[in-house]
Structure 1
Amino acid sequence: MKKSYYQKLAGIGMFLIILFVFQNYRSREKEDFSDVHFIAENSVALKLAEFNPNELDKKQWQNLGFTEKQTSTILNYKKVVGGKFLSKEQFKKCFAVSEEKFSELEKYILLPQTNTEAKFNRFKSFEKKSIIVSKKFNPDFYSANDWMEMGFSERQAEAIIKYKNYLGGSFVSKEKFKECFIISEENFEKINPYLMLPEKTPANYNRYAKNLNSGKTKIQYHTFDPNTLNLDDWKSLGFSDKQAQTIVNYRDRNLKGSFKSMEDIQKCFVISVEKFEEMKPFIRLNPATIASNGTQKAETKQQEKTDFSKVDLNSITFKQLLEFGFDEKAAASMLGFRKKLGGFVNKEQILTTYNIDPELMKQLLSVAQLNTSNVPKYTLIDAPEEWLKNHPYFKYSADKIIFYRLSEKDEKKIWKLLKTKPEYEARMKLYLK
């Protein structure tokens, strides 16, 4: 009887254990996984620029569109492969980087394509350039070319300009400047002492609000003779350095020494309609100053012997540019740009010269000739290395061209490998046979 009793008791115990295990299993099926996030693409449209994945910190990876968990995975993977990504091929193997995300980033990654290429160290052009700053500057006034001269790549320079435009046309403060994805912590520390910007962003800052210069000091006008004003006098009337210089050049060179009428003043393109109306009640044209400048006009006229309709823009001299009305800075910029290019191939290029007066240049372009017969041109295959590295249109792609043509003699294939923007390719082809 006792044996039968214990057998039944053991059977009931086994049944209870099996029931408990089954209930526990079913409850696990309903476990809440709401806090588990799968690695996925960030759907936000990103403004990308060239970058070296070995130099990005946690925040910069997140700025590229990766989640916090993906970022941790990438940084851990970098440690696993030796603390440094050697190639795009190696970076692609990180499981936190999907095929779609890699395709999006690939052309911006400053690494060789494969580990083999990395071992042979044949992609020196992918090494990061050192950022060099030598003087204080206001970044709001810097062009893409200025950023490239500092050491940023072409794409990085464009991204910095786009970021400034995104902020409303001004970096506003050092604080905002630092937030630009392209500016790494290291580079910001180099640039920071030279930035002519406030340390902190104003509390009332709104990037959507237009800068109406509402705080600008109101000009206290007195009667004046525009023919007796020098550079500082025009600046005291509210004009910038460049505007004041343009007015003086316009008066002394284009008008041969003096404004003869109100219309002459109004025609100066840096004097807006509003500004002219503001100054008009105070302007006094003194016949005596016009007459005294008449002698200067006659003397200048005798000295001017150049027939600009016969002048070639690829051989025009510094003196002739001054004679036409350009200041020394503009003349030097044009001749310097022409020298770097090896000569102009079309007149539109000349209008892209820095520091020139566009309206005055358009007048010269409408009169002067352009002879392009002596401008040196090459193919991608036979272009001298020194020429490629120094030419403004080729220097940022020079190392890649030199590398690709070692094994590839078909120019069409080289263009595909370069992956340049259509506008840059068109610009480069101006100097190719």
Structure 2
Amino acid sequence: MKRSYYQKIAFLGILLLILFIFQEYTSKEKENFPEIKFVSEENASLYLTEFNPNDLNEKQWQSLGFSSKQVLTILNYKKIVGGEFTSKEQLQKCYAISKEKFSEISPYIMLPNDHKVIKNGRSGVPDKKTITVSGTFNPDHLSEKEWENMGFSPRQAQAILKYKAYLGGSFVSKEKLKACFIINDENYRLLAPHLLLPEKTPENLKNISKSTEQKPRIYLRFFDPNTLNTAGWQSLGFSEKQALTIVNYRDRNLKGRFNTYQDIQKCFVISQEKFEELKPYIKIKDQQNDEKKNPIIQQKTDFASTDLNQITFKQLLEFGLDEKSAGSIIGFRKKLGGFVTKQQILETYNIDTDLVQKLISICKLDSSGITKYTLVDAPEEWLKNHPYFRYSADKIIYYRVSNPEDKKIWKFLKLKPEYETRMKLYLK
């Protein structure tokens, strides 16, 4: 190498050494950085904008400053209140949101302060958007209060019951219930999976609303309520079911006779307005005068040849039973559609057991005339009215839609053996 090259290398080495010394000297003064402050993520301020809490997912709640556990609690609370927050007041009740946090996000929440402020444009009552259903049910059996508990307003519940009455006292099918203008499409979608009703209206009931609209004109005349049968009560403007209830009330509860106007007024199917309409035409004849004019002729009955399914009220009195026991036996037999075994008679309420035991040991029992069904083809009305089936009627109707076999239905019902044995007495 030439001498000039050595001189250049030495010069570069001295220059690098000077730069290194200068760097070490200057770095000691700026070592601590006293002016700089670090801000932790927890203390970082949130940049909030208006939002609807019903639209937020888990990550969006976390972006508002909530932990994953808090977010999970908030979302669970949302499900509990029906799947949607309706007001700030409701959201504030969630214990995962502290007072300080709520006051911070409250101005940006796109919800009313109080859910009572939201009104239905038609009725002027709180608009409960979400309907809660706890399990399967038959809408024919719901009272006004039960409709309200489900999420409908009092006026909506009243309108639904009026619509049911307009249909003749039963919704008949899901198709008919869907036609109720009070129940919108969204609410119907929530109710539909839980309804114990057939999907379509049977052909023979499709014109039910038309038939109820065209009611025959009622011509009132003087009448004795103690002599009217079901047809007579129907001619006064009552439905077939109402007429049957009135006759049963008179024959069973009042021992066959209305004695005063108050007795008629107490029958729950006779409204106050209807009673006032009928009152001027009611003529209750004096029982004592009738008995004098038509004395009862006692007849001797051969009880050994008398069928317990044909024995009359008077024959039971003749045997020695009081009116209460006789009425109970006749009433229970009518509900059952006839006795299949003599033991059933002893299960009747309010009877003289010893005397009835003597009666069934003398009389015969012919059950050949009793109508029997299978669980699949049994009429709904029969299931709901029969003492042995009415408590399981809704389940039977529901299960047989998708499982039209008696064996499968019995498995789903899971009844106690004694209940199943009683029910099978009236099945094919």
TM-score (norm 2): 0.33
Larger Rg: 2
TM-score (norm 1): 0.33
